[in-house]
Amino acid sequence: MTYLFQQLLNAMQLGSIYALIALGYTMVYGILTMINFAHGDLFMVGAFLCFIAATFLKLPFVPTLLISMIGVALLGVVIERLAYKPLRHAPRVSAVITALGVGLFLENFTLVFSPYPQHVPELIANKTWVIAGVSISSLQIIIILLSIGLMILLDQIVRHTMVGMAMRAISWDKTIVPLMGVPLNLIISITFALGTSLGAAAGTMYSLAFPVIDPYMGIMVGWKAFISAVVGGIGNIRGAMIGGFILGGVEILVAAFMPSTYRDFVAFSLLLVLLIFRPYGILGKPRPQKV
């Protein structure tokens, strides 16, 4: 039981990171019905901004986290305006190809500055306590609590603010809402800023928990976060949170009780099985077709 509780704690840590990244996917899809496949690479940019702020500017954890989140949020808004906005009325495959191209650009642009893996310095004094045989580190506590706090904050913004009401209205019908005075472009930019800033927060915490980063780290993590969003019900914020913790738990428990090489196999198999029996995810609902 001690070993099981230890693995569940590890699953909470990994799942909270997946959930934060999955929120970026689900927010953009909910507004534009588009998959931002560059989101995993924005997660990677957040990790590298953390590395730069911690290594060269010698900043502590909180300023480093804020710089990473603000920098990636601004980058997300710029990408939306330059790459995605001109394609809102284009076929969906055009937006998908563009998103993949943006991701490749970010990876190769980062390679110019850092072609080798980098080690992120320790920003938090990592103390460990043993409670009933379970090792709990201060870094795990901070990652889990900070992630849950950011998720709750986003949920409150979406459900209880005017900006959140506008987001939900645009998600329902983005053709009629601008006629009612809602600034469509501004709300979409805010959505990208919020989603990408959460991805940057996940990148910062991931780089502290697993302190070796590289320009391609966002590819597999991004795909797994996308699986989390689909499992929970893409377009549903609470579903993305649930999906992230489910996938984190599956990966950790598979590595704990089976060969670790089966982690990705089980993760992608979970997606396939769920799509067969529940195509819209755990909390997802079919969108009505407007004719």
Task: Give the C-alpha separation, 47 to 58, whole Å.
Answer: 15
Give the class (CATH, top level) of 2-277. mainly alpha
Q: pTM of the full predicted structure? A: 0.91
Instruction: Map out the domains of the chain as residue ranges.
Output: 2-277
pLDDT at 269: 84
pLDDT in tens, 195-215: 999 999 999 999 999 888 999
State the 10-residue block means of pLDDT for the chain, 291 residues long.
85 92 91 88 94 91 94 95 89 89 92 84 84 85 93 92 90 84 90 94 93 91 90 87 90 83 81 82 71 53
pLDDT at 17: 93
pLDDT in tens, 20-76: 999 999 998 888 888 889 999 999 999 999 999 999 988 999 999 999 999 999 999
pLDDT at 256: 82
pLDDT at 143: 92
pLDDT at 289: 59
Task: Give the C-alpha separation, 168 to 26, whole Å.
Answer: 12
